[in-house]
Structure 1
Amino acid sequence: MSSPEVVAHAPRAVPPLRRLEVRLVVAVARLLATRRPRRVRTVLERLSRGARPATVEETRAARDAVVAVSLACAGREGCLPRSLSTALLCRLHGRWPTWCVGARRLPPFGAHAWVEAEGVPVGEEYPPGYFRPLFTVPCAEDGHRGRSAVRAGRDADAGSRLP
């Protein structure tokens, strides 16, 4: 049995040019979402280069536009295309939020993708810290690549070992 869900789908609330931008990035995001995680991260790392960090307000405006225009991104199960679309829409305007993929900290397991700006999850109904990031793609203006939480943990462990 499925449970009914109400989604905020109001494409006409978004100006026509912005709506066109959203449809374009949603199409790219849906294609990107079919790729392997390593490929997705590589593409996003390249796209993030040269962008300035997005603010919470800019990221929220992009996410709201994506959710209003795309029914696929508005649903509960649309976290991956929604987060990718939000990041891509920000990038169209020279900004980049931190794109995150992770899992729920407490059982039962649940994978999730989201965006953060200024260290805060944007548009999420869960409190900060509810999900543990497995890897992130932050703004690359400083030239650093996204870090894998698994790799970061290994690096920390390797530094503490005796020769």
Structure 2
Amino acid sequence: MPGPSSQKTDGLADATPPGSIRASVCTSLRSCTPHASRYRPMLELARRVGRRPLGPASAEALMGAVRHAARWWPGRAACMETSLGAVLAAALLGRRLDWCLGARFAPPPVEYHAWAELPDHGPVGEYTLGGWHHHTALTI
């Protein structure tokens, strides 16, 4: 019986050895700092490098890997850092995720949030069973 590692999604798991996924996740988390002015150049580079589509299952796995690596990060690793880490990790693998910033207005209080999103698919690694109530203010 084949194991979970032998299942094919979009070729990402077959074409990329686990070590390079870990390296890209660690590199992308290392580049995330609390200084928002540094995010723009990294995202522009990610946009140019990551052009191939990423499948939903691979995107969920990538987000899980970033969140797992974030546990070892000594600084803050909340929604902004993990979503940006996933976008940059996808770019290092030559894939594409969008980075979104937005807010949820109801129920009060207002909640600001950042998330990674697959173009034409929706948020990656987010709880959406109860509906998605965040409004996108910026997509990069």
User: What TM-score does the superposition give when structure 2 sets the normalisation length?
Assistant: 0.70
Aligned residue type for 1:48: R
Aligned residue type for 1:55: G
Q: What number of residue pairs does the alignment pair up?
A: 117
C-alpha offsets along residues 69-124 of structure 1, whole Å, 9 cap, x if unaligned? 22177xxx710010000001111111111210000131211110001114211111
Report the CA distance shift for 1:20/1:40 in structure 2 as closer, same or farther (over 3 A).
closer
Percentage of pairs with the same residue: 31
CA distance in 1 between counterparts of 2:41 and 2:137 reads 15
Larger Rg: 1
C-alpha offsets along residues 24-77 of structure 1, whole Å, 9 cap, x if unaligned? 11011x22x4223xx63454134212512322122111111111222177xxx7
Unpaired runs of at least 5, structure 2: 1-17
CA distance in 1 between counterparts of 2:27 and 2:39 reads 17
Aligned to 2:48: 49
Aligned to 2:114: 113
| 2:27 counterpart SS class | helix
| 1:49 counterpart SS class | helix
| 1:95 counterpart SS class | coil
Aligned to 2:35: 34
Unpaired runs of at least 5, structure 1: 1-14, 138-163
User: What TM-score does the superposition give when structure 1 sets the normalisation length?
Assistant: 0.62
Q: More deviation in 97-106 or 51-60?
A: 51-60
| 1:18 counterpart SS class | helix
CA distance in 1 between counterparts of 2:24 and 2:39 reads 20
C-alpha offsets along residues 116-153 of structure 1, whole Å, 9 cap, x if unaligned? 1142111112455310010001xxxxxxxxxxxxxxxx
Report the CA distance shift for 1:49/1:79 in structure 2 as closer, same or farther (over 3 A).
same
Aligned to 1:83: 83
Aligned residue type for 1:131: H
CA distance in 2 between counterparts of 1:82 and 1:134 reads 18
Is the Cα contact below 8 Å between 1:58 and 1:90 reproduced in 2? no
